[in-house]
Structure 1
Amino acid sequence: MDQALGALYGGGRDAQGAAGRTAGLGASAPSVARWLGDIRTYFPGSVVQVMQRDAIERLGLSALLMEPEMLEAVEADVHLVGTLLSLSKAMPETTRETARAVVRKVVHNLEERLATRTRATITGALDRGTRVNRPRHRDIDWNRTIRANLRNYLPEYGTVVPERLVGHGRASRSVKKDVVLCIDQSGSMAASVVYASVFGAVLASMRSVSTRLVVFDTAVVDLTDQLDDPVDVLFGTRLGGGTDINRALAYCQSQISRPAETVVVLISDLYEGGIRDEMLKRVAAMKASGVQFVALLALSDEGAPAYDREHTAALAALGTPAFACTPDLFPEVMAAAIEKRPLPIPDMATHQ
């Protein structure tokens, strides 16, 4: 364990325990592969991911991630996916399929963690507006019906007499809300891009929501037609480059046909390289037309992100507070936006 730590951070001990010897991974792929095997053996997965991240940043190991053998040895996580996406255009063809397999594994794990709760939370928000008291049998919400009729419980029969049925009308099968995810793909937003792509795919799988996914730097790319596979979405991004939020919002605005039934989610650190005043005017215009506008400084498990405080304050003045959001909180944020109620902004993550 000490040698593995010393190879990355220095100050390791030799086999006899003598202090002061520094180690290193050098540029040798075999030595890095051995080191990756060691840290997976001696440390828990969460620590392995931190050490891998530090090795890529401190020792410049990005080039080695273009080797299929190296990719098979690493512990895959959101941050590794971000690194792979930033390298994807330079990857040799022999590595690309291995990289896609690594990304797919991480995406699959995220979908398993997030999809069920997201669908349940958002479906509940959508259905609350379409409850009916004379539903068809197949539309009866049995849990709510039982709760509504508990006073009619007959203990001698062990049953509830349902005088009032609660259910959802047939309108619940139609598209009820339009959601536009507008994602900043500058390099600092890598984790947010990964999570947003997963959420975009989950939302796209819901028939009652029409989902559009737009990524931008200084250019704007609509990846909606790839939402059935978030891995394709991720490899359609190009992490890095400048930022033109105004241009991205102009495109999103042009795609809105039902403003009162539309939720726009801008995920960006708000470091605007475009026209600031125009950006703010677009946000104000969308809100005035009835759009529910949500600004997230980050969508990740990280701590408070770096962000443009001046632009954040300007959005807050328009009634759109910008805040960092964890993936676990995102379904609640979307549900609140759909129901047009105050957003559940965490106190520690609020920036106004």
Structure 2
Amino acid sequence: MNRISEDERLRRWRLILGGGNCDGIGVRLSHADGKRDQALGELYGGASGKTRRGGTEASMPNVSRWLGDVREYFPDSVVEIMQKDAIERVGLQRLLAEPEFLELVEPDVHLVATLIALNRVIPSGTRETARALVRKVVDDLLQKLTNPMRQAVSGALNRAARNRRPRHHEIDWNRTIRANLKHYQSEYRTIIPETLIGYGRKRQLAQRDVIVCIDQSGSMATSVVYASIFGAVMASIPALKTHLVVFDTAVVDLTAELHDPVDLLFGTQLGGGTDINQALGYCQQLVARPQETILILISDLYEGGNREDMLKHARQLKEAGVQFITLLALNDRGAPSYDRSIAAEFAGLDIASFACTPDLFPDLMAAAINRQDLAAWAAQHEINLPRAKDD
């Protein structure tokens, strides 16, 4: 391990302690370090001899200038932390009131989650600023996630729609020959086509019904953002009929808002209780074609409603033929906290439960459309699945 020099060690302590008459360091800061120290002092205190642990004063002067200094003198990972702390310490309403805030802040999924969580109390004067911030993040995510999602789903639907009983004019001879090379008869110098593969038949109706059911509890905040984006993308694919349902202790169907992810997000209400039982009961009513339906429950499974009835709904959905998947989280934060006993009950019903990152979600949807073994899919991606209680 590399050892830091004594001067560097003292420099770091000086930035931590914040200067003043009592820091005991006596280190002179460079211009850049002085800017760092000033930015830290304005957010955490310390500019007038106070400890860095203290909060801010009633106001933090020139927030826009402070944001510029933070972006210039700190790495991105630290910028994200300091912006989050500024929101908590200074107050989101005051930050949104700054004219340059929208241009200078680094919006991300976590900031969107904060705005959505507070959307009921954001005053009308700053609501448009908040919506603009959300729109900026949503547009960036749509640009990043739309093509992978459409390509994965379209490819999976095309594979699922291949015609295995084609009429003569529907035969795809290239794929048929490749599929039957093992049946080549050297004596006759020909292939016996035991399997005929045809071109996929065009269908007017959706090939799959997708129901995305999202837990709105506070711990699921970033998952709500990503799930809403993916829901909007899937709603734009004609071969999918997509429903999006959010729930806490009440159930709200936001399918009509799928055309605009920003309206969709502002239609959610993060926080509150959790009634998975009621949500599954509602989703069960939406199922018209069980064998062609994929239900994605996004929840940490901490049930506040009737546990036994919830498991009953889950069992009925599986027995009807619905592909039922539980995502314990849909974000980049790693292993989530979740109710392991319910996850084990779900495993006993052959309902896969696992966390999924946004970049893997399109591939997961493709696997579900093709009815792949999701346990094998998860193992391929080094994802651990909860085991049934008897295992």
What TM-score comes out, normalization by structure 2 length? 0.76
Given that residues 66 and 91 in structure 1 are in contact (C-alpha distance below 8 angstroms), is that contact kept between their aligned partners in structure 2?
no
Matched with 2:385 is: 350
- Asked if the contact 2:354–2:386 (Cα under 8 Å) also holds between the matched residues in 1, the reply is yes
Task: Encode CA deviations 1:30-77: one digit per residue, 9 max, x unaligned.
Answer: 3443322211112343432232124334x3633434525344432100
Q: Could you tell me how far 1:334 is from its partner in structure 2?
A: 1.1
Quick one: which amino acid aligns to residue 92 of structure 2?
S
Change (3 A) 1:27 1:148: farther
Partner residue, 1:154: none
1:95 aligns with 2:105: no
Q: What CA distance in whole angstroms lies between the structure 2 residues aligned with 1:126 and 1:246?
A: 31
User: What do the CA deviations read for 1:159-198 (whole angstroms, capped 9, x no partner)?
Assistant: xxxxx99743213x53100000000011111100100010
8 Å Cα contact 1:68-1:94 kept in structure 2: no
Which of 272, 286, 307 is equivalent to 1:241? 272
CA distance in 2, matches of 1:51, 1:168: 53
One of 78, 91, 94 as aligned partner of 1:64: 94
* Paired amino acid for 2:257: Q
Say which of 219, 242, 247 aligns to 1:216: 247
User: Where do 4+ consecutive residues of structure 1 move more than 6 Å?
Assistant: none
Deviation at 1:295, TM superposition (A): 0.1
Tell me the percent identity: 54
**Within 5 Å, which residues of 2 pair with 1:1-352?**
1=33, 2-3=36-37, 4-5=39-40, 7-8=42-43, 22=52, 25-57=56-88, 59=89, 61-67=91-97, 69=99, 70-132=101-163, 167-171=199-203, 174-343=205-374, 344-345=377-378, 346-352=381-387
Residue deviations 1:106-164 (CA, integer Å, cap 9, x gap) = 001101111101111011111112235989x9x999xx87x959x9xxxxxxxxxxxx9
User: How far 1:279 moved relative to its partner?
Assistant: 0.7
Q: Contact conserved, 1:140 with 1:168, CA < 8 A, in 2?
A: no
2:125 and 2:58 map into 1 onto residues whose CA distance is 20
SS across alignment from 1:221: strand
SS in 2 for 1:121: helix
The farther-off stretch of 208-217 and 41-50 is 41-50
Contact 1:195-1:300 at 8 Å conserved across structures: yes
CA distance in 2, matches of 1:349, 1:66: 41
Q: SS state of the match for residue 288, structure 2?
A: coil
Code of the residue aligned with 2:91 in structure 1: it is L
SS in 2 for 1:131: coil
Q: State the alpha-carbon separation in 1 of the partners of residues 197 and 369 from structure 2.
A: 25
Rate the CA distance shift 1:304–1:9 in 2: closer, same or farther, 3 A. farther
Q: CA deviation at 1:312?
A: 1.3
* Worse-matched range after superposition: 44-53 or 291-300: 44-53
CA contact (8 A) 2:63 2:95 kept: no
Q: Give the Å deviation of 1:304.
A: 1.2
Distance 1:165 1:260, change over 3 A: closer
Q: For structure 2, which runs of at least 5 residues remain unmatched after alignment? A: 1-32, 182-195
Q: Is the 8 A contact 1:72 1:98 kept in 2?
A: no
2:26 aligned partner: none
CA gap of 1:85–1:168, structure 2 versus 1, over 3 A, is same
- Checking the alignment, whether the CA contact within 8 Å between 2:329 and 2:354 is kept in structure 1 is yes
SS in structure 2 at match of 1:324: strand
